[in-house]
């Protein structure tokens, strides 16, 4: 039915099977859209946010998708600026994942502000003393970069590419992609960093506050670094999931190994910096503000030392070591374990830096404030996942996303 749109030489499932799959995920999407409209029409009383949790589950999801979406800017930087040619075989997919992550982040923000029709106020009436203003600027501009990077892939659709103007446009956009990639890296550095900076400058929250360099707390640099380190892990994870669902090898091993190796070294260097930062905060910063380390990890039913160990050791050191060592990196099972742990690790870091900050008691009369999101918050947080699955399915079906797919999966000619 839609065979004219499918990339030449590529094999796809039947249209009815594809439609059923999209319909199932689409039902989840609609559930999220319903919750989104509830929040818009009835207000933020639909959530369990309160005076403690002005930043709730959404903001964790927002920071998490931005972090894992960092694979797009970092892979683009490596491909177009550092000229690592092998990565051309995965850059399209990294861009699509980044596009999904950043559009999801903007959608989450549109829900979170409660009045999406006033979203433009942050540009028009900008507070130039706020790191979040910088985040909003860079996030919007970087989403434009990702859209620009995604457009050539769309224009390479079998039918669209027959139109001469689109064919030339795709070609020309490829020609200047390095300029867009460099702009994207510049924007990503600042918005990833400023998201961390927001936590680091909260001097009223001893769990978050950090020293730093000039106006930037160390969390600024740690957030950028972690996004560049763990973003490629998520790209590799989604690639692996896509391969499992399609039952095909889509990217050659040498490309996967290279990206995994780069990610591994980035994780190792990041986690060393993170450990130094944590020790200094625990030994110097927090005590100078009248707190001991145990204050942040005891006297409550959820946040214990386990979360610190899980983030730094299990989901930081372990994936870093597994990806740096050639023998474990080239073992598919151990590599999969590493990229799953890495993805969980960066999400856990964002959870700690958004939600645990809000939960820790600050005043002597405070108690731990544990929070559970409402179903509307959960539905709107799952919404981007469903949207991402649908966009990846549609892109994979109709666009030449993986340049090595045909070579790795030759279609045998039909003999009658």
Partner 1 sequence: MFPFCFEWVWDIGHAIFFGGFWYAISILGAGMTFCILKAAYDTMNDSGDSHH
Binding site for partner 1 (CB under 8 A): 123-126, 128-129, 133-134, 137-138, 141, 144-145, 148, 164-176, 179-180, 183, 186-187, 190
Residue whose structure tokens are 């509307």: 376
The rounded distance, in Å, linking the Cα atoms of 325 and 247 is 28
**Minimum CB distance to partner 1 smaller for 35 or for 135:** 135
Closest C-alpha among 309, 297, 306, 287 to residue 361 = 297
The CB-of-246 to partner 1 minimum distance in angstroms stands at 25
Q: Which helix (H) or strand (E) holds 213?
A: strand 212-213
Residue 273: how many other CB atoms lie within 10 Å: 15
SS3 of 170, please? helix
The rounded distance, in Å, linking the Cα atoms of 316 and 310 is 8
The CB-of-196 to partner 1 minimum distance in angstroms stands at 18
The CB-of-190 to partner 1 minimum distance in angstroms stands at 8
Q: ∠ CA(252), CA(317), CA(236), 5° rounding? A: 20
The CB-of-186 to partner 1 minimum distance in angstroms stands at 7
Residue whose structure tokens are 């409660």: 114
Token digits for 240? 């692996």
The CB-of-156 to partner 1 minimum distance in angstroms stands at 8
Instruction: Provide the CA 217 distance to its chain's centre, in angstroms.
Output: 22
> Rounded to 10 degrees, what is the CA torsion of 65, 66, 69, 73?
180
The CB-of-270 to partner 1 minimum distance in angstroms stands at 25
Q: Which helix (H) or strand (E) holds 212?
A: strand 212-213
**Minimum CB distance to partner 1 smaller for 187 or for 339:** 187
The rounded distance, in Å, linking the Cα atoms of 212 and 222 is 11
**Minimum CB distance to partner 1 smaller for 30 or for 176:** 176
SS3 of 371, please? coil
Positive or negative torsion for Cα 180, 224, 269, 87: negative
The CB-of-291 to partner 1 minimum distance in angstroms stands at 32
The CB-of-129 to partner 1 minimum distance in angstroms stands at 6
Alpha-carbon separation of residue 224 from 15, 95, 195, 218, 230 (angstroms): 41, 18, 9, 10, 10
SS3 of 51, please? coil
Residues 58-67 as b/e (b if ≥16 CB within 10 A, e otherwise) read bbbbbbbbbb
**Minimum CB distance to partner 1 smaller for 186 or for 291:** 186
The CB-of-71 to partner 1 minimum distance in angstroms stands at 21
Token digits for 54? 């002005």
The CB-of-139 to partner 1 minimum distance in angstroms stands at 11
H-only helix segments in 126-283 = 131-155, 164-175, 177-200, 218-246, 253-280
The CB-of-141 to partner 1 minimum distance in angstroms stands at 5
The rounded distance, in Å, linking the Cα atoms of 155 and 7 is 12
**Minimum CB distance to partner 1 smaller for 83 or for 129:** 129
Token digits for 131? 């790191």
Token digits for 151? 């457009």
**Minimum CB distance to partner 1 smaller for 62 or for 134:** 134
């Amino acid at each position: 039915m839609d065979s004219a749109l499918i990339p030449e030489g590529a094999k796809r499932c039947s249209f009815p099977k594809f439609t059923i799959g999209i319909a199932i995920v689409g039902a989840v999407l609609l559930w999220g859209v319903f919750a989104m409209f509830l929040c818009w029409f009835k207000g933020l009383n639909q959530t369990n946010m309160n005076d403690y949790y002005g930043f709730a589950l959404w903001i964790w999801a927002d920071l998490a998708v931005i972090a894992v979406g960092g694979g797009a800017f970092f892979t683009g930087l490596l491909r177009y600026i550092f000229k690592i040619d092998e990565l051309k075989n995965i850059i399209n997919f990294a861009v699509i994942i980044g596009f999904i992550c950043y559009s999801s982040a903007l959608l989450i923000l549109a829900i979170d502000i409660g009045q999406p029709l006033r979203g433009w106020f942050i540009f028009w009436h900008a507070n130039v003393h706020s790191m979040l203003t910088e985040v909003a600027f860079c996030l919007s501009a970087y989403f434009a970069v990702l859209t620009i990077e995604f457009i050539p892939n769309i224009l390479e659709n079998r039918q669209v590419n027959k139109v001469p103007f689109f064919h030339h446009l795709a070609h020309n956009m490829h020609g200047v992609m390095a300029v867009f990639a460099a702009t994207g890296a510049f924007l990503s550095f600042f918005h990833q960093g400023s998201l961390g900076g927001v936590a680091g400058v909260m001097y009223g929250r001893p769990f978050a506050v950090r020293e730093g360099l000039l106006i930037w707390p160390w969390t600024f640099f740690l957030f950028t670094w972690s996004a560049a380190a763990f973003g490629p892990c998520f790209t590799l994870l989604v690639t692996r999931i896509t391969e499992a669902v399609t039952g095909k090898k889509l990217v050659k091993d040498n490309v996967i190994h290279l990206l995994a190796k780069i990610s591994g070294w980035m994780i190792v260097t990041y986690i060393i910096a993170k450990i130094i930062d944590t020790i200094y905060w625990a030994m110097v910063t927090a005590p100078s503000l009248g707190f001991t380390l145990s204050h942040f990890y005891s006297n409550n039913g959820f946040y214990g030392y386990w979360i610190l160990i899980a983030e730094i050791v299990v989901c930081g050191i372990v994936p870093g070591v597994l990806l740096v060592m050639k023998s474990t990196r080239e073992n598919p099972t151990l590599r999969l374990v590493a990229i799953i742990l890495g993805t969980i690790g960066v999400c856990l870091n964002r959870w700690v830096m958004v939600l645990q900050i809000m939960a820790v008691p600050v005043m002597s009369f405070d108690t731990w404030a544990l929070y559970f999101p409402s179903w509307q918050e959960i539905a709107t947080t799952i919404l981007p996942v469903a949207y991402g699955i649908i966009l990846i399915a549609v892109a994979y079906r109709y666009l030449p996303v993986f340049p090595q797919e045909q070579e790795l999966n030759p279609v045998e000619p039909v003999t009658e």
